[in-house]
Structure 1
């Protein structure tokens, strides 16, 4: 059996250091994205809401690009503040594990949330806000632990469901000014990302596990 290590350093210290580095990266990246949203809202305030016009317009093929822009814009400071804490915490938990998980869950949430809004929202509406990403991350984290059967991830799944399970009320249609379409699409994207990454991981782990007779 062979193993590798850095000269002069115990091999057992490598993984904890990589994990600490990933945690710091997660805090910085999600913090910077959150700061960017606050800066954009400040600019939008100065421009009297002009940036809000860059949101998703249903079934307008010329504005499909807005699917990637709309999540970073908000209708007002109250809207932004409501999204800020769950955005940072849920994103922190995901990126704290790996870039692959964060990029997959985030991309799926943005794509499915935006597409659902574009296809099913009322005509002449404009949809903006990070809620689709928040719902996507919630769905991903809420399911991930139970698919992976990893003890630490199960604990995170339970905590997320307890702390933020109430946001599922945002899936109910008919709430004024609330895009249940964006919430539902984001949730679907996060759930699909969890299945994509962790059902496959379980199958690969099962194949690699030693067999006893």
Structure 2
């Protein structure tokens, strides 16, 4: 089985999400201290200049409150992504930024759309629908946990609050759903032992051959013969042949 499909903890599960969150905080610090114009690098729909925001907008935030509200969901969801779907985690993140940003560029109002919330909606949507499609209890449980924690976010994909990019949220929701369909065959699964495989046959198991019908441990004939042969070889090697050579002393006068 491909080990990349197994649920397995690694340093990347924590390190990569922390690095991403740290990156958006560093960009915000640079924005506040040195480069105030960074804020204008968001997605501006249907303009050639606004396309640069497809890549840059997730790292740009309007104020500290905006940044804080995006940091915790991004950290939690990206850690879940790298733990349960580490084989495709980077694809979901990178392609998610590009596709959700492009959809925002296509459908958004003429305004500067910034923030990591579009990517967060990609992760929420992907993790939820992927777990439902997988029909595996751990992933389904993860889907319901996402709904419990972030289910209220669904209301922000509709026009409502002033100054909020609901178009970016909707673009992220659509992108996550599309990725759940696109990567449908890439289902993370727990590690299975040999005896858990569907084609497992007890008669072919070399370990179980050492037990009789009553559960008593037995030595197989081939192994006994090999063991006796090894013992004989060791005995032969351990036998030392000693030869004494006597030499007469010369006669004394």
TM-score interval (norm. to shorter): 0.7 to 0.9
- How many correspondences in the alignment? 188
1-side partners of 2:182 and 2:75: how far apart? 23
Give the TM-score taking structure 1 as reference length. Answer: 0.80
Gaps of 5+ in 2: 188-197, 200-253
1:116-164 Cα distance to aligned partner (Å, 9 max, x none): 22112222x1111000100010001111111111111111111001111
Distance in 2, matches of 1:188 and 1:27, equals: 26
Map Cα deviations across residues 91-131 of structure 1 (whole Å, 9 max, x no partner): 100111233331232234323321222112222x1111000
CA distance in 2, matches of 1:112, 1:98: 19
- Superposed counterparts of 1:162-173, under 5 Å: 162-173=148-159
Equivalences for residues 108-187 of structure 1 within 5 A:
108-123=95-110, 125-187=111-173
User: For 2:64 and 2:81, how far apart are their aligned partners in 1?
Assistant: 26
Deviations 1:27-62 (A, max 9, x none): 100101101111111111113732101111111123
Does structure 1 residue 80 correspond to structure 2 residue 80?
no
1:71 aligns with 2:58: yes
**Larger Rg: 1 or 2?**
2
Larger proportion of helix: 1
Match of residue 12, structure 2, among 13, 25, 33: 25
Given the superposition, is the C-alpha separation of residues 188 and 96 from structure 1 closer, same or farther in structure 2, using an over 3 Å criterion? same
Query: Which residue of structure 2 lines up, in the alignment, with residue 35 of structure 1?
Result: 22
Deviation at 1:201, TM superposition (A): 4.4
SS in 2 for 1:99: coil
Change in 2 beyond 3 A, CA 1:197/1:18: closer
**Does 92-101 or 68-77 show the bigger shift?**
92-101
Q: 4+ residue stretches of structure 1 with deviation over 3 A?
A: none
Q: Is the 8 A contact 2:13 2:82 kept in 1?
A: yes
Counterpart residue number, 1:103 = 90
Secondary structure, aligned partner of 2:61: coil
Q: Which 5+ residue runs of structure 1 have no aligned equivalent? A: 4-13, 203-208
- 1:63 deviates by 3.6
When the two structures are superposed, what TM-score results if normalisation uses the length of structure 2?
A: 0.68
CA displacement at 1:185 relative to structure 2: 0.5
Aligned equivalents of 1:18, 1:126: Cα separation in 2: 39
